[in-house]
């Protein structure tokens, strides 16, 4: 497939050139992501640690407020906000690629600067989709399990995996969750690093991201599967695996963006 070019709304009227993405580009991006993480270990662990602590705090709050049935959907949906948390990781990869100095002050300053840019609007998009996920889980929970949910997490898990209604809830919820995750992945996988890298409006960035996924469905959905699978596995030991997984996936996302888009 030939590279294609479109004019964007960036002030300088720069053009986005969409490049074909192959499975080898995804593998290369993951390899580079590991390299970025190991080269800037303390910063990577810092951002991964913030993400992990956020997950633990949410789960603890649900336990305190006696909402154990919310723990599973929140834990599963929590990686949906990963792209927004990974902004600092994109900046590290950008600086390393450009040969610019990578310091705590420079990276954190760029993260805070996003409050005044279009990337801040993407936070609303991500949180809105996350809220849709939580709402549909509550709806499915009411439809399949009603008000019979036990107060203890262990008993709740047992009910879900050992009853017909619980298995139906799990199956339908998995399908709906996969659709929601795919939509959010398509909207953010390219748009987040693009907005960090250049002054586009967030709508243009989201459209560009979806276009990359639509025009390269196999490699991009493969990357989405890798991100989802690694995130879920990393959460199993009490979210602790995310300390390493999130930085590597964040750096890899930057390199996927660079493989898919070129600006003129």
pLDDT digits (tens, 9 = 90+) for 139-194: 888 888 776 666 666 777 788 888 888 899 889 988 988 899 899 999 999 999 99
Phi-psi region of 2 (alpha: psi -120 to 50; beta: other; left: phi over 0): beta
The reply to whether 4 falls in a domain is: no
The reply to whether 257 falls in a domain is: yes
The CA-atom distances, in angstroms, between 156 and each of 68, 114, 135, 150, 153 are 8, 40, 19, 6, 5
Residue 235 three-state SS? helix
| Count of the separate structural domains present in the chain | 1
Q: What is the pLDDT of residue 173?
A: 86
**Among 22-36, 123-137, 148-162, the least confident range:** 148-162
**pLDDT-derived band at 75, boundaries 50, 70, 90:** low
The reply to whether 178 falls in a domain is: yes
The reply to whether 42 falls in a domain is: yes
The reply to whether 5 falls in a domain is: no
Q: Are 257 and 97 in contact (CB under 8 A)?
A: no
Q: Report residue 236 CA to chain centroid gap.
A: 17
Average pLDDT, the chain: 85
Work out whether the CA dihedral 118, 19, 93, 232 comes out positive or negative.
positive
Q: What is the pTM of this model?
A: 0.85
The reply to whether 2 falls in a domain is: no
Q: What is the pLDDT of residue 68?
A: 63
Report, as an integer, the average pLDDT of 92-119.
89
Q: Residue 264 pLDDT more than 90?
A: no
Q: What is the pLDDT of residue 72?
A: 63
Q: Give the range of the structural domain holding residue 61, as residue numbers without chain letter.
A: 16-263
Report, as an integer, the average pLDDT of 110-122.
81
Q: What is the pLDDT of residue 151?
A: 60
The reply to whether 10 falls in a domain is: no
Helices 23-39 and 87-98 cross at an angle (nearest 10°) of 90
The reply to whether 6 falls in a domain is: no
User: What's the CA gap between 248 and 33, in Å, rounded?
Assistant: 5
């Amino acid at each position: 497939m030939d590279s294609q070019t479109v004019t964007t709304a960036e002030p300088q009227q720069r053009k986005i050139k969409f490049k074909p993405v192959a499975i080898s580009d995804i593998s290369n991006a993951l390899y580079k992501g590991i390299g970025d993480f190991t080269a800037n270990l303390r910063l990577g662990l810092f951002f991964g640690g913030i993400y992990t602590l956020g997950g633990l705090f949410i789960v603890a709050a649900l336990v305190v407020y006696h909402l154990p049935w919310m723990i599973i959907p929140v834990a599963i949906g929590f990686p949906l906000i990963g792209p927004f948390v990974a902004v600092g990781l994109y900046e590290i990869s950008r600086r390393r690629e450009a040969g610019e100095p990578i310091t705590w002050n420079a990276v954190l300053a760029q993260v805070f600067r996003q409050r005044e840019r279009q990337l801040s609007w993407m936070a609303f998009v991500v949180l809105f989709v996350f809220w849709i996920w939580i709402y549909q889980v509550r709806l499915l929970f009411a439809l399949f399990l009603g008000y019979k949910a036990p107060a203890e997490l262990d008993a709740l898990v047992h009910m879900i995996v050992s009853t017909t209604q619980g298995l139906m809830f799990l199956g339908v919820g998995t399908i709906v969750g996969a659709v929601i995750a795919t939509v959010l992945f398509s909207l953010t996988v390219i748009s987040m690093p693009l907005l960090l890298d250049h002054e586009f409006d967030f709508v243009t960035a989201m459209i560009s991201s979806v276009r990359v996924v639509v025009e390269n469905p196999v490699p991009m959905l493969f990357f989405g599967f890798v991100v989802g699978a690694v995130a879920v596995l990393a959460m199993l030991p009490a979210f602790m695996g995310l300390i390493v997984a999130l930085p590597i996936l964040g750096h890899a996302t930057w390199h996927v963006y660079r493989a898919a888009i070129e600006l003129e």
